[in-house]
Copies of this chain bind each other. A is one copy, B any other.
């Protein structure tokens, strides 16, 4: 079976596409998620879009390996229930796997969006060829996902580790995770924007623009974020011990080269890191990673719930 539907659901917009098993996107459509209209209405719109994609590609439902869905958590990848009180509150407790498999009669799989993006980069992007992979995504927050021996890492209850909240600097800002100075509180887009505002800048974009112009205040804000990433990398090396770290998200898409030297220095200094070396790279699929990875969910086996 060489095609699957991939869905990348966000709080604002949703991407749907037909994904081939070589990672290529055959056709795709973007639509508002509109969670406020309720879950049933969303399922009707998603179903219509899937039928539209099939029509324009001359494919039938029977040609699909299934429907893979990446969605911001909390969610239960084993049951299909979405419990995201933050960005999808009106969907609370809805079962999207049940709804779409009922509609189409084919396998449907749900996964945390960070894990879906990791699968996309892992199988069709910057992670190709690495079996032990960590991806950090720097956007509004800092997301993380881990591939161990080619399989998504799951902890207690099959849940997703939150690498964005590892401790970095006890003197750092307070985070909703319960800690002061986690990685997200120091290196996320929001963290850079907030520090920027205190220094008189409009947002994180202005901070980066002022860095490139050589502004000292902006460079101190950046330096704090870079140091936090370097410390976070030390943590990743001594916990998950990956072959490769992928840096993704809007900040890295634009400014990877500002972070790279400090990160490479950490890899060089870590004597107890992988004896075979470790690679650092920038995500390549960017906004498509989640969509492509969602398609790959249907081409990767998922362990049974315990």
Interface residues of A (CB under 8 A from B): 74, 131-132, 148-149, 153-157, 159-170, 176-179, 182, 231, 234-236, 238-243, 269-272, 274-276, 278, 303, 306
Q: Is the CB of B167 within 8 A of A234?
A: yes
Known contacts A162-B272, A178-B270, A243 near B149 by CB under 8 Å: no
CB closest residue in chain B, given A279: B156
In the assembled complex, 18 residue pairs joining A and B whose CB atoms fall closer than 8 Å, in A order, are: A74-B275, A131-B306, A148-B153, A149-B306, A156-B241, A156-B242, A159-B274, A161-B239, A161-B240, A162-B238, A165-B238, A178-B269, A178-B272, A179-B234, A179-B269, A182-B238, A235-B239, A239-B239
What residues of B have a CB within 8 angstroms of the CB of A231 in the complex?
A: 167, 170
Q: Is the CB of A167 within 8 A of B235?
A: yes
Q: Is the CB of B240 within 8 A of A239?
A: yes
Q: Is the CB of B159 within 8 A of A275?
A: yes
What residues of B have a CB within 8 angstroms of the CB of A235 in the complex?
A: 166-167, 235, 239
What residues of B have a CB within 8 angstroms of the CB of A154 in the complex?
A: 148-149
CB closest residue in chain B, given A239: B239
CB closest residue in chain B, given A274: B156
Q: Is the CB of B278 within 8 A of A161?
A: no
Cβ distance A82 to chain B, nearest Cβ, rounded Å: 14
Q: Is the CB of A238 within 8 A of B271?
A: no
Assembled-state Cα–Cα distance A168/B170 (Å): 9
What residues of B have a CB within 8 angstroms of the CB of A275 in the complex?
A: 74, 157, 159
Known contacts A235-B235, A274-B155, A161 near B74 by CB under 8 Å: no
Contact of A242 among B155, B166, B168, B241 (CB under 8 A): B155
State how many copies of this chain the complex holds: 2
Assembled-state Cα–Cα distance A178/B166 (Å): 20
Assembled-state Cα–Cα distance A160/B276 (Å): 13
What residues of B have a CB within 8 angstroms of the CB of A132 in the complex?
A: 155-156
Cβ distance A96 to chain B, nearest Cβ, rounded Å: 19
Q: Is the CB of B155 within 8 A of A234?
A: no
Which 8 A-B pairs give the minimum distances between C-beta atoms? A155-B241, A156-B274, A178-B269, A239-B239, A162-B272, A156-B243, A157-B276, A161-B241
Assembled-state Cα–Cα distance A238/B235 (Å): 11
Q: Is the CB of A176 within 8 A of B241?
A: no
CB closest residue in chain B, given A232: B167
Cβ distance A164 to chain B, nearest Cβ, rounded Å: 8
What residues of B have a CB within 8 angstroms of the CB of A270 in the complex?
A: 177-179
What residues of B have a CB within 8 angstroms of the CB of A242 in the complex?
A: 155-156
What residues of B have a CB within 8 angstroms of the CB of A241 in the complex?
A: 155-156, 159-162
What residues of B have a CB within 8 angstroms of the CB of A153 in the complex?
A: 148
Q: Is the CB of B178 within 8 A of A271?
A: yes
